Amino acid sequence: MKHSVYLGLGSNVGKRVEFLAAAIRGIADFEKTVVDDVSKVYRTEPVGNVPQSEFLNLAVSVRTDLTVEQFHQKMKWLEKEIGRTESERWGPREIDIDLLLFDAVIMNSEVIRIPHSEMVNRNFVLQPLSEIAPMAVHPVFHKTIGELLNETTDHHGVEYSEMHTSQLFPLINDSITNPTV
């Protein structure tokens, strides 16, 4: 597999753990793609001014032979298959799959923005991503994910959830090639 991809997943509606598991299994089913690792699950405060429940967030490490465009298209299709409904910006989500990094690609089209434009400002992205890829380098800031986490000024709560992690991993272990948990 020639491309290294990092994803951020989140859910704060309905059966959150099941939605996260369905997303990971779905990504593992993409052709020419393997899921290498999945972070622990973190309970996180929502960002923005929309009243809503806390999120469950995690990060996923993937290798693929798909192009950025192919991978992104499959990702968006998977969100809909799992049951994502459209809502307001920063609103509640059954499942949210964000393409954080794709190799060292920098892309800013109407459809795809890589690296994810807000990732450096979000503890709920940096904390789980630093767990599975602390040495991955942000192609714009030329800093590792670990460095960006140490430098972030985001003060939204991010807390490891042992309960949700222990619920998730039995549902996905067959989909991961190299789990750290």
At 57-93, the pLDDT tens digits run 999 999 999 999 999 999 999 999 998 887 766 668 8
- The CATH code that applies to domain 3-115+157-175 is 3.30.70.560
Reading the block at residue 171, the tokens are 């549902």
At 90-112, the pLDDT tens digits run 668 899 999 999 999 999 999 99
How much of the chain exceeds pLDDT 90, in percent?
Answer: 80
Q: Is 113 among the residues known to form the active site?
A: no
Q: What residues does each domain of the chain span?
A: 3-115+157-175
Phi/psi at 98 (5° precision): -110, 130
Q: Is 98 among the residues known to form the active site?
A: yes
At 146-174, the pLDDT tens digits run 999 999 998 888 999 999 999 999 999 88
**C-alpha gyration radius of the chain:** 15
pLDDT reading at 50 higher than 90: no
The catalytic residue among 16, 37, 43, 96 is 96
Mean pLDDT within 33-59: 91
Q: Is 154 among the residues known to form the active site?
A: no
CA-CA distance, 170 to 149, in Å (whole number)? 29
The catalytic residue among 98, 103, 113, 154 is 98
